Amino acid sequence: MAKVNMSTDLAVPAQTAWTMIGGFGALAKWHPAVAKCDESREGGATMRRLTLAGGGTILERLEQKNDKERTYTYSIVEGPLPVADYTSTLRVREGKNAQSCVVEWSSDFEPKGASESEAVKVIQGVYAAGFENLKKMFGG
């Protein structure tokens, strides 16, 4: 099982960042690779279909969400990324002071159609692009 754990510091209160990124259907508002995000209910599960800016779609299922803890966990159901059995958690925690926070994004997965190092690089690239855009939006 491969693992990716990344984080970034933002110069905004944790709740401000969570308000922007904490909605399961909010990814298109802050991640530059996502052109559109459609949230729906399917068989009792909350799903999101991500339309990627470069073409392609990813279907993801919300596994759990806790607004009080500012965290949600999701899995990829289908998509073009070189991963299988992908489960990821996005979390916002308090920073060093009341005007800062840390956004953490982590995942576990099996590489699919690529080496483990290649799959890890792809996921790291996805997270880094999101973090860079959040820093542009909020400051780092």
Domain boundaries, the chain: 2-23+63-138
CATH topology of domain 2-23+63-138: Alpha-D-Glucose-1,6-Bisphosphate; Chain A, domain 4 (3.30.530)
Q: Is 93's pLDDT higher than 70?
A: yes
Please report the pLDDT score of residue 12 as a whole number.
96
Q: What angle do the packed helices 14-21 and 116-138 form, to 10 degrees?
A: 120
pLDDT digits (tens, 9 = 90+) for 20-46: 999 999 999 999 999 999 999 999 999
The single-letter code of the amino acid at 55 is: G
Determine contact, residues 106/2, Cβ cutoff 8 Å: no
Positive or negative CA dihedral for 33, 39, 43, 44? positive
Residue 58 near residue 76 (C-beta atoms within 8 A): yes
Give residue 75's pLDDT: 98
Q: What is the DSSP secondary-structure string of 9-34?
A: EESS-HHHHHHHH-SGGGHHHH-TTE
End-to-end CA distance of the chain: 31
- pLDDT value of residue 140: 59
pLDDT in tens, 50-87: 999 989 999 999 999 999 999 999 999 999 999 999 99
Whether residue 102 contacts residue 11, with contact meaning beta carbons closer than 8 Å, is answered with: no
Helices (runs of H) and strands (runs of E) counted in the chain: 3, 7
Distance of CA 19 to the CA centre of its chain: 14
114: CB partners within 8 A, 6+ apart: 82, 122
Which pTM does this prediction carry? 0.94
